[in-house]
Amino acid sequence: DLVLRLDIYKKLEKHRGCVNTVSFNADGNILVSGSDDRRVILWDWETGNAKLVFQSGHVNNVFQAKFMPYTDDRCLVTCAADGQVRHAQILERGVETRLLAKHQGQVHKLAIEPGSPHIFYTCGEDGLVQHIDLRTAAATELFACHAIGDSRGFIPVIQLNDIAIDPMNPNLFAVVGSDEYARLYDIRKYKWDGSTVFGQPTEYFCPSHLIGDDQVGITGLAFSDQSELLVSYNAEFIYLFTQDMGLGPNPVSSSPLSGSDASEMGPDHSVMSASAMEKADEKAIPQVYKGHRNCETVKGVSFFGPKSKYVVSGSDCGRIFIWNKKGGALLRVMEADKHVVNCTESHPHTTILASSGIEKDIKIWTPMAAEKATLPANIEQ
């Protein structure tokens, strides 16, 4: 099993701060990274050489940098702690960057429409989801994501941490943030003339025991190439949902029921609708992945290997955890950072992994070890 032979092939060293994002181009021969140093670096990861280093134009930590597909790796989009979403164009004479959109507060993630050189989405701590088309340089505010509240007043905004698009159906995208639900939306329901309110998800996903838990949030999510949704909870575990595990578009009724069981009450005293309770109970239970610790930072989660066979996450203990997607068995625990591992990114075509965290380097992992690894004896600690 190649996963058991993963070892550090190269350390890419040039950033002067934490590395918050690593992402491969479509061919897999170039890695792009962004950092607290506000710079973006393009790497020939195989040789370990930095091909290009440029100032992102952001005035705070770069949280994500990605290549736009079918642009000959000359067009990148970035988002950052300064609330800006920026476009970088690599030209013969250098790199030109420009502001595309702004959020109030930090912008942790963006998602590129699969196969599109023009369209991507962003999500921010302001709860906004924006749709950006590079052809028009227009940013459309699709909606602000709100908590499921009752009808008695102010409904808080959900601070969004991550957004992902279903590669099998690019009309569908999901967002996660400061409450317990992953929300799935269908862009086909959006009316571009603004004639309807679009903020209603088509599906909510949440493990039944976390519904109504106001202590948890979600830091990362990913779609598999079978449209499964992988969701990483803060101070909890990672769960894998299939599309049939959704709670529907209305998981909670809008008014409290008198005399109902307190355990069925949400934090805002809203009550799960009976249909949502039944749905949550009779549904297939999502696969769970345990062992890592996710309390300190906004961590991603990802699939790895052919057919999304493995699940990968960083951890507060500075290790990378790899599980079998099917069955949830923990396969590997790898020392990867002196502090915290935040990013794990799969190579698009082969069993190679890039990781980064609080340290200033990027580690490239390839299946080159002579001996198969075993789990550390003290893993329970």
pLDDT the model gives residue 194? 67
Instruction: Determine whether 150 is exposed, middle or buried from the number of CB atoms within 10 Å of its CB (0-12, 13-18, 19+).
Output: middle
- State the pLDDT at residue 15: 97
Tens of pLDDT, residues 255-278: 333 333 334 444 444 455 555 556
The pLDDT of residue 95: 97
- Distance set, CA 8 to CA 169, 194, 212 (Å): 35, 50, 42
Would strands 160-165 and 49-55 be described as parallel, antiparallel, or unpaired? unpaired
* Furthest C-alpha separation in the chain: 70
> Would you list the DSSP string of 174-231?
EEEESSS-EEEEEGGG--TTS-S-----SEEE--GGGTT-TT--EEEEEE-TTS-EEE
- Is-contact 218 229, C-beta < 8 A? no
Count how many residues are written for the chain: 381
Does domain 16-253+267-293 sit in CATH 2.130.10.10?
Answer: yes
State phi, psi for 189 to the nearest 5 degrees: -85, -5
Q: What is the pLDDT of residue 250?
A: 86
Separation between Cα atoms, residue 248 and residue 254, nearest integer Å: 15
* DSSP-H helix ranges across 5-142: none
CA angle (380 as vertex; 375, 381 as ends), nearest 5: 115
- Residue 309 · residue 302 · CB < 8 Å: no
Cβ atoms within 10 Å, residue 196 = 10
CA 91 to chain CA centroid, nearest Å: 30
210-244 residue pLDDT tens: 999 989 999 999 999 999 999 999 999 999 999 99
Measured between alpha carbons, how far apart are the two ends of the chain, in Å?
Answer: 26
What one-character DSSP code corresponds to residue 296? S
Q: Which residues of the chain have pLDDT under 50?
A: 253-270
Residues of the chain with CATH 2.130.10.10: 16-253+267-293
Cβ 353 vs Cβ 9: under 8 Å: no
Contact of 35 with 15, CB cutoff 8 Å: yes
What's the predicted TM-score (pTM) here?
0.91
Which is it for the CA torsion 199, 204, 206, 212, positive or negative?
Answer: positive
pLDDT at 337: 87
Give the pLDDT confidence score for residue 178 in this predicted structure.
96
Q: How far apart are CA 179 and CA 252, in angstroms?
A: 14
